[in-house]
Amino acid sequence: MHYLDHAATTDLRPEAADEWLRVAGATGNASSTHGAGQRARRILEESRERLAAALGCEPIEVVFTSGGTESVNLALQGLWRSRAEGRTGILLPDGEHHATLDTVAALAAEGAGVVAIGLDAVGRILVDAFAAALAAEGVALATALVANNEVGTINDAAALAASAAAASVPLHLDAVAAFGHLPLSFAALRGEAPAGAGLVALSVAGHKIGAPAGTGALVVARTARIAPLLHGGGQQRGLRSGTQDVAGAAAFALAAELAVGEQVAEAMRLRRLRDRLAAGIRERVPSAELLGDPDPSGRLPGNAHLLFPGAPSESLLFLLDIAGMSASAGSACQAGIAEPSHVVQALGRTETEARSVIRFTLGRTSSDDDVDAVLAVIADAYARASGSSIRGR
């Protein structure tokens, strides 16, 4: 099997699996005062320290969650519910992940106003437009992707955070797709922002970097005003009540340390594979077009997102799948019905184009073999998939 969907989820690192098993075998609730509880507490707090080091934040700022979706929900709902008097707007760039889009939609039903801003043709948030929208009256909070999970375009997170700080608006960054793949430091991005404003929250997920699914974290600045989603025992600064998953935290912290330690070398390795894949596909399918930033350093190292004109994504994915390759259309697929990618449409592309894309994402276990496998079948798959679309009309 050739797995080219590492952005959806990536292989569990063997070290993280071992760490999980080792810690999960010990009894003890990290909130209990007896010896067993205190041993669990020690492992938990060491894991928090190690994850904080990997994220460039203070240990107290790490709130462990169940993954990216929970982190984004805690950030957006929490910030909105603690918003400054008279402010109801949420600054929402186009092309965000559904965890963000749907949370903002739910808040809109509670009275939030949505201040939408567009992307440029490669899928990047325009910093000037972001800053101008922040200056509009009544913006309670802003959110943005560090890197787009579909087309892989990297945003200028530092500039976005600086404009939020200058406007005294709290900003959440969704770093789920970026963490472990790009250099990232919460403290550096936050800079000297005023209390409760600028970058105040940042979401990450464990299963994108080789930790078990069900692990994640929200970095919450000490001065952030944020209401909890879960009420109960008051764990984690009262921001996320509930008995803590010590084994998950330990496995996540270890996977994060490994990913961050390998990040520079791994990015170089993946860029070479990714560029070979994209160039090879375009040689074999001359009408295919690389979407996102054509500058290799402006996109996530393992991301090759291509438009295959006239070929429905589902047909291509099906043909690749039966040839033993897993990729994705990069769009939400509910009840088996693929929706046209809202991200591709945000680049100014048509709905038909947004239904004719494939996202190949490479990761730790990817090799030249995977690239060769795609290149061996892509021309034939494209011919058959585009034929199927013509027959289908």
For binding to ligand PLP (CB under 6 A), which residues are involved?
67-69, 72, 97, 99, 145, 149, 174, 176-177, 205, 207, 216
The three-point CA angle 154-122-335 to 5° equals 85
Per the annotation, the verdict on 57 as an active-site residue is no
Q: Are 43 and 246 in contact (CB under 8 A)?
A: yes
CA distance 164 to 90: 12
Which helix (H) or strand (E) segment is 276 a member of? helix 246-284
The CB-nearest residue to ligand PLP is: 68
Residue found under tokens 């170089």: 268
Residue 60 or 101: which CB sits closer to ligand PLP? 101
Residue 41 or 364: which CB sits closer to ligand PLP? 364
Of all residues in the chain, what percent are helix, strand and coil, respectively (each to 5)? 45, 20, 40
Q: What is the Cα 155 distance to its own chain's centre?
A: 12
Q: How far is the CB of 148 from ligand PLP (least distance, A)?
A: 8
CA distance 67 to 69: 6
Catalytic option among 17, 213, 333, 375: 333
Residue 68 or 340: which CB sits closer to ligand PLP? 68
Residue 161 or 319: which CB sits closer to ligand PLP? 161
Residue 180 or 216: which CB sits closer to ligand PLP? 216
CA distance 201 to 45: 20
Q: Considering only CA atoms, which of 188, 205, 239 is closest in space to residue 63?
A: 239
- Residue 28 per-residue DSSP state: -
Catalytic sites, residue numbers: 333
